Structure 1
């Protein structure tokens, strides 16, 4: 017996197209929203999953991931699917504000009525990390394994960022590989005994498949 863990990167973010966005938003430079295209991408991911039996969506707390998760959940026929906010899947700390500029739970709840406030995250507070894209690897892999145990039977979707997902790829396949925005990856979980990566960064559900930033990082950025 097995179940499926789906991996999705958030959609296009506003600073991908507005190069001055971070400069113009100094109090939340690490938390850009989705663009119109990003919301459409997330909507198309939701259409892909609409008829599937999904127990939960586990998401990074950043706004772009919450918006992506909310779009996916809104498209599902199963309205009992919950969105669980998991800090363990957020960006590496070296790319974030101190503390990370993630929205409050009250703000997060404005995006969807399906936020599960009872969910107990793997990390209430993130541990210290070394700089570089590999710095979050232990945290992300621990979160991935423990989330799999928290939802031991149902199919789940994890919504995260390029670098954390690349580190999950390294855990599954032994090498680091980036993923396109709002592409879909399929992992078969043999109920905790083993994980099998079936496909990575699939884009067939998207109406526009150019400029998904899957080549944003060919290799991990190492600490200086």
Structure 2
């Protein structure tokens, strides 16, 4: 059974650093990748986690989360389990339609550490308009299954809504005390005597101050 959880939001997005032209580069307009700053953040996070005994990595299927997870996985020599339960909130104000993401075959060609045999515990349905009732529920469902079925220390790579939901799911009735939602901030939780406690949050592994956007 899992006894330690790291919760990590992806690195800085391209649309934050390149507001004028980022859509020109995109094959899928709703699947924004990391900026160069975000890539550096992901690499630095991987370096920090080399000594943290992570045993399993779970990532949202969006490109930016897979980029972040791949940077970590390559340094830890671990597979990436693509879990749709940790994907971005499918808010119709953000996505006018169900966002088009990489297929499994496409993802494997770009991110070599993806585990092709992993089957997601959750498949969200578009649209999602209720954060507490829908997003928190599906994140908790995925997290509960993973904690039960896996061992050791896991890393979850998600988004603003899904990382916050993961923290709330662990700390029911939903405390976010100490949690940092900045991009590539690492939040660690530890199970002691059957109860999850917040251990720490750090951005000290990052060479530049991160952002909350």
In structure 2, the residue matched to 1:53 is 53
Structure-2 separation of matches of 1:163 and 1:181: 12
Closer, same or farther in 2 for the Cα pair 1:101/1:128, shift >3 Å?
Answer: closer
- Quick check: 1:169 aligned with 2:173? no
- Give runs of aligned pairs for residues 1-224 of structure 1, distance below 5 A: 3-21=3-21, 24=24, 28-76=28-76, 79=77, 81-94=78-91, 95-96=94-95, 98-123=97-122, 125-127=123-125, 130-134=128-132, 135-151=134-150, 153-171=151-169, 172=171, 174-175=174-175, 179-190=181-192, 193-200=194-201, 202-210=202-210, 212-213=211-212, 216=213
Distance change in 2, residues 1:199/1:208 (3 Å): same
The answer on whether the counterparts of 1:129 and 1:136 sit within 8 Å (CA) in structure 2 is no
Q: Deviations over 1:62-97 (max 9, x none)?
A: 000000010001122xx2x21100011001111335
SS at structure 1 position matched to 2:152: coil
Structure 1 gap ranges (5+): 217-224
Alpha-carbon distance, 1:19 to partner:
2.1
What secondary structure does 1:99 align onto?
coil
Q: Distance in 1 between matches of 2:118 and 2:2?
A: 24
Q: What is the deviation of 1:164? A: 1.1
Which deviations, in whole Å up to 9, do the C-alpha atoms of 1:2-23 show, x marking residues without a partner?
7211111100110112224565
| Residue segments in structure 2 that go unaligned for 5+ positions in a row | none
How far apart, in 2, do the equivalents of 1:108 and 1:141 lie? 25
When the two structures are aligned, how many residues end up with a matched partner? 206
Q: Distance in 2 between matches of 1:96 and 1:22?
A: 16
The alignment partner of 2:41 has SS state of helix
